[in-house]
Amino acid sequence: MQTGNPLSIVHITPAGGFGRVQHGGAERAVLELAEQTALAGHFVTIIAPGEFLSEVRAPIGVNLVSADVTPRSLISLVRIVRALAPDVVVGHLLRGVILAGLVRLLWRPKAVFVSNLHNSLNQAFEDVGTPPARRFVLRSALSSLHLGSRAATVAISPSNVADLLEHDGFPVKKIELINNWVAPNFAPAEEAALSIRNELSIDRASKIALFVGRLEHQKNPILAVRSVSRLSTPTTLLVAGAGSLKTELADAAVQLGVQIRFLGNVAHVERLMAAADVVLVPSRYEGFGRVAVEALATGTPVVANSVAGLRDALAPFPSDWYSLIETDDLDQWQESIERHFLRDASPAVRASRHETVMHTYGLDAAVARYIRLYRSLLR
């Protein structure tokens, strides 16, 4: 429910990192936040690469502007934002945050600026081997873009807060903790199991393990393939996502004898989650662990690497709903997956899990906190 005058909000996102357009949890979060904010009565625009916008369902009530979100397009972005004259500029992911911050400084330095890196910047730097000098420059830029009383950054988990404080030099007063959320369409669906099996010609005797995410180093999909290869139970591994590691994964599956299906970017991944017997989240690091809680919301158990963002995300729930494994311990991965295969949750149990997850990570509550943050910075 809206209180106060409608706000005009512009989200700027490169829809991916390292120069590639991607379709991951951060990208879905931007779309869901924008749509829900628009449905609450505000004027919302997303500025993103055309390649991304052409491949997603248009959020209801949201103005979509196709533009390159790159340093060489800075002046063009300033012109677009000047024409929209928003109350709030929101930058997403590292490149989007820096460009949105520069747009705000060049257009109207006193405008409200909110950033969301959607991940641990420190771990991302470590992951790709960013040189120390470049890390210093980027962190200095981030710090300078958040000067003044009308700028803040959103952390999506307690460990994300710790990263921003310890590694990125953000003062605590500049950080707003707003956990990521689960959209209501992530719910149990009894019919999904049969329909997915029929659509993909999966034998009823086979269990389904599901990996959802970008096929990149951070998400560690090779661990899912290796874990499934060790199972004594016949299992089909479904892979929903795209990325540079697809060929490596396909080769490994052949060598290890794993039945694998590459589905690409899937529009309704919640159906796959509801149909799966277990969802695998082997990430090397996460800002929050969105896929894990979305899976729990459909009633499906999760086996995940024990990294900070995933521990944060799963902590509120009973430990028999999921297993957290020390990184790359294949024996524990095998044992945990097979243990969850033996626990066939009833429809009532799945419904109870959904209700608990939605109470903990509901979309409406998260969006309300974003809007309160915007209004507090406008004062």
Phi, psi (deg, nearest 5) at residue 276: -75, 155
Alpha-carbon span 111 to 150, nearest angstrom: 7
pTM of the model: 0.93
pLDDT at residue 215, rounded to an integer: 96
pLDDT means over runs of 10, the chain (379 residues): 82 81 87 98 98 93 97 97 97 96 93 93 87 93 93 96 90 95 95 91 95 95 98 98 96 98 94 97 95 98 97 97 92 97 91 98 97 96
Report the DSSP beta bridge partners of residue 62.
Answer: 44
Under a CB-based contact definition with an 8 Å cutoff, are residues 191 and 270 in contact? no
Helix-strand-coil split of the chain, %, nearest 5: 50, 20, 35
pLDDT at residue 1, rounded to an integer: 45
Alpha-carbon span 280 to 210, nearest angstrom: 6
Under a CB-based contact definition with an 8 Å cutoff, are residues 234 and 242 in contact? no
pLDDT at residue 224, rounded to an integer: 98
pLDDT at residue 302, rounded to an integer: 98
Alpha-carbon span 296 to 274, nearest angstrom: 9
pLDDT at residue 24, rounded to an integer: 83
List Cβ neighbours of 272 (8 Å cut-off, separation of 6 or more): 192, 196, 210, 212, 238, 240, 263, 266
Q: Which domains does the chain have, with CATH numbers?
A: 8-181+362-378 (3.40.50.2000), 190-360 (3.40.50.2000)
How are strands ordered across the β-sheet holding 112-116? 62-66, 43-48, 8-12, 88-92, 112-116, 151-155, 175-177
User: How far from 57 is each of 28, 39, 61, CA to CA, in Å?
Assistant: 10, 16, 12
